[in-house]
Amino acid sequence: MIVMKFGGTSVQDATAINQVAEIVKSKIKLSPVVVVSAMSKVTDALLRIAQTAHDRDYEETKRIIRELCERHVQTARELLAQANAPNAPTKLQEVEQEIHQYFADLDNLARSVATLGELTPRSKDAIVSFGERLSSLIIAATFQAQGINAELVDARDFLITDNHFTCAAPRMDATEARTRTTLLPILNAGRVAVAQGFIGATLEGVTTTIGRGGSDYSAAIIGAALNATAIEIWTDVDGLLTCDPRVVPEARRIRVISFAEAAELSFFGAKVLHPSTVLPAVEKKIPVQIFNTKNPASEGTLILAEAPPSRNLIKAIAFKRGVTVVNVNSTRMLLAHGFLRGIFDVFAKHQTSVDVVTTSEVSVSMTLDSTDRLAAIKRDLSAIGEVNSENEKAIVCVVGDNLKFTPGVAARLFQAISNFNIHMISQGASEINLTFVVENRDVEKVVRQLHQEFFAEVDSTVFE
Ligand code: ADP
Ligand code: ASP
Ligand code: MG
């Protein structure tokens, strides 16, 4: 069997969903489990509903709910009114009723947030979960109307997580067992299972989500639990590219890349793949493939345990904007044991993760991607040393197996961008990435100059 995950833009409207149905039909012999995201921008809109309800701006809450409801009903009508299956009209009625029921539930939730004046992470998750629940409802009905023997499954029945609402961690043992008992009978009966990405539930059955962009991760978890032969991530670009095409339009498609390289890229900002996705796949050595829903003929990108050698020094460039750097200076204590631990305990306490770390004789610098707890972190760190922070920074990361073996890469890299101010520099412990920090305002120019330097010519066995 295979897992096929379709992202937000791949299910953004009726045309896109029809395209998804065609792609699934073409793979039906491989016994697909289909994992879907919310329709594009819906998760953001649901988060706005949560926020406006909390702010007691109920007019705005109602307006967004109405808009979302219309979009889903309209999409269902376009898909099911046109499907020429004899039972399509009844199906449409049922689906419309369910959509209205979902929006009534959502409205109730938003009202209770407004009444209580309190928005907990738990209620946030309950609210955002509607995005995937709605899209999967419409998609499963479309499949059925088009003659695909499909069954809608609630991911909360098998994706079991802890209770860290908004970024819950899957409990792998329970999830694996339940995924098998829930999905295998459906597959064994020759049916296509359709499930939501991104959402799960605690053991007690309370709805959770596994972090923004988490549907990729859901797909990988399901693939690992079922020992899938492949995990396919269907998105809106031809595959993993040498850089984000929105910044470097001439970015090239990477034909094949290693798990380790893909993990570094996604960790440092290549949004095309959720950073946790490759972990379950690596453990079971299941290949991950990235494909373009709008261009299914493209071969995409294959992510494998080992990638073939490439004549290019690097595979890709990733970047992350809006990063804050925190510096801790202490002349006395840096070399004392327990000093770094003290610093990291502060970050652990505030549940904030650090991406890049550099140290000198008298200081430690760290980048954070969330500044939600910055003030409290700085307060706690000031007990350890002198603390300051700088925002408006960006991380740039170049990745490639060849960085391990090739002398002179750093010299060539920094020469190519010698007109910019570089802050922290770190050669990742994995030895396949080189990461540094620049000003936010420079990041696009830096990335384009690097792309020009390293990808003006490409090895056609690895890149297209
Ligand atoms: P989905 O909704 O399908 O999950 P995302 O928006 O999360 O899609 O990810 C796809 C986007 O990732 C692309 O549209 C592209 O702009 C961006 N992206 C960033 N870096 C890369 C890269 N190196 N290769 C391909 N896409 C990238
Ligand atoms: N819908 C969720 C998000 O927008 C999850 C996903 O699309 O992967 O973050
Ligand atoms: Mg995504």
Same-domain status, 218 and 336: no
How far apart, in whole angstroms, are the C-alpha atoms of residue 253 and residue 438? 26
Instruction: With respect to residue 296, please indicate whether it lies within any of the assigned structural domains.
Output: no
Residue 53 maps to which CATH number? Answer: 3.40.1160.10
Mean pLDDT of 150-179: 97
The label of the residue with tokens 């802890």 reads 162
Same-domain status, 46 and 194: yes
Sign of the dihedral through C-alpha 99, 182, 220, 205 = positive
Strand order in the sheet with 32-36: 150-153, 192-196, 32-36, 2-6, 230-235, 288-292, 301-304, 256-258
Q: How far is the CA of 324 from the centre of ligand 1 (A)?
A: 23
Same-domain status, 216 and 335: no
User: What integer pLDDT is reported at residue 6 of this predicted model?
Assistant: 98
Backbone dihedral angles phi then psi of residue 270, each to the nearest 5 degrees: -75, 95
Instruction: With respect to residue 290, please indicate whether it lies within any of the assigned structural domains.
Output: no
Give 14's pLDDT tier (boundaries 50, 70, 90).
very high
Q: How far is the CA of 18 from the centre of ligand 3 (A)?
A: 20
Same-domain status, 160 and 57: yes
Name the least confident of 96-110, 196-210, 300-314: 300-314
Burial degree of 122 (CB within 10 A; 0-12, 13-18, 19+): middle
Q: How far is the CA of 271 from the centre of ligand 3 (A)?
A: 6
- pLDDT over threshold 70, residue 86: no
Q: How far is the CA of 7 from the centre of ligand 3 (A)?
A: 6
How far apart, in whole angstroms, are the C-alpha atoms of residue 23 and residue 319? 31
Q: Say what percent of the chain tops pLDDT 90.
A: 86
Instruction: With respect to residue 34, please indicate whether it lies within any of the assigned structural domains.
Output: yes
393 by DSSP, 3-state: which?
strand
* Closest atom of ligand 1 to CA, residue 239: 25
Instruction: With respect to residue 20, please indicate whether it lies within any of the assigned structural domains.
Output: yes
How far apart, in whole angstroms, are the C-alpha atoms of residue 128 and residue 49? 9
Q: How far is the CA of 210 from the centre of ligand 2 (A)?
A: 9
42 CB within 6 A, ligand 1 = no
316 CB within 6 A, ligand 1 = yes
Task: Looking at the CA of 6, name the nearest ligand.
Answer: 1
Instruction: With respect to residue 297, please indicate whether it lies within any of the assigned structural domains.
Output: no
CB-defined site of ligand 2, < 6 Å:
7-8, 37-38, 43, 131, 197-198, 212-215
Residue 213, domain extent: 2-236
Task: Looking at the CA of 47, name the nearest ligand.
Answer: 2
Same-domain status, 126 and 232: yes
- pLDDT over threshold 90, residue 10: yes
Strand pairing category for 192-196 and 32-36: parallel
Boundary-marking domain end, from 236, 262, 294? 236
User: What integer pLDDT is reported at residue 83 of this predicted model?
Assistant: 64
Q: How far is the CA of 72 from the centre of ligand 3 (A)?
A: 20
Instruction: With respect to residue 273, please indicate whether it lies within any of the assigned structural domains.
Output: no
Helix axes of 215-225 and 172-188: crossing angle, nearest 10 degrees: 70
Instruction: With respect to residue 156, please indicate whether it lies within any of the assigned structural domains.
Output: yes
The label of the residue with tokens 């998760």 reads 43
Name the least confident of 11-25, 35-49, 208-222, 304-318: 304-318
How far apart, in whole angstroms, are the C-alpha atoms of residue 434 and residue 139? 42
Task: Looking at the CA of 198, name the nearest ligand.
Answer: 2
How far apart, in whole angstroms, are the C-alpha atoms of residue 241 and residue 318? 10
User: What integer pLDDT is reported at residue 242 of this predicted model?
Assistant: 98
Mutate to test the pocket of ligand 2, among 198, 210, 293 (most ligand atoms within 8 A of CB): 198
Judge whether 42 and 137 are in contact, CB under 8 Å: no
Residue nearest to atom 6 of ligand 2 (CA): 213
* Closest atom of ligand 1 to CA, residue 293: 3
Give 341's pLDDT tier (boundaries 50, 70, 90).
confident
Give 404's pLDDT tier (boundaries 50, 70, 90).
confident
272 CB within 6 A, ligand 1 = yes
The label of the residue with tokens 């023997």 reads 149
- Output the CA angle 192-146-95, nearest 5 degrees: 85
Same-domain status, 325 and 216: no
Name the least confident of 8-12, 59-63, 72-76, 426-430: 426-430
Q: How far is the CA of 114 from the centre of ligand 1 (A)?
A: 35
Same-domain status, 337 and 435: yes
How far apart, in whole angstroms, are the C-alpha atoms of residue 310 and residue 463? 9
Q: What's the number of domains the chain is made of?
A: 2
How far apart, in whole angstroms, are the C-alpha atoms of residue 187 and residue 90? 26
Which ranges of 274-419 does DSSP label H, i.e. alpha helix?
278-284, 339-349, 374-381, 409-416
Residue 378 maps to which CATH number? Answer: 3.30.2130.10
Same-domain status, 228 and 372: no
Same-domain status, 325 and 449: yes
* Closest atom of ligand 2 to CA, residue 215: 8
Boundary-marking domain end, from 236, 267, 286? 236
Same-domain status, 75 and 190: yes
pTM of the prediction?
A: 0.94
Task: Kindly report, residue by residue over 372-400, the tens digit of the pLDDT.
Answer: 899 999 999 999 899 999 999 999 999 99
Judge whether 140 and 153 are in contact, CB under 8 Å: no
Instruction: With respect to residue 192, please indicate whether it lies within any of the assigned structural domains.
Output: yes
Q: How far is the CA of 394 from the centre of ligand 1 (A)?
A: 18
Same-domain status, 322 and 230: no
Amino acid 123 reads S
Q: For residue 201, what are the contacts with CB-CB under 8 A and spacing of at least 6?
A: 156, 157, 159, 160, 161, 207, 208
Boundary-marking domain end, from 214, 236, 258? 236
Task: Kindly report, residue by residue over 345-366, the tens digit of the pLDDT.
Answer: 999 999 898 989 998 878 899 9
Same-domain status, 183 and 53: yes
237 CB within 6 A, ligand 1 = yes
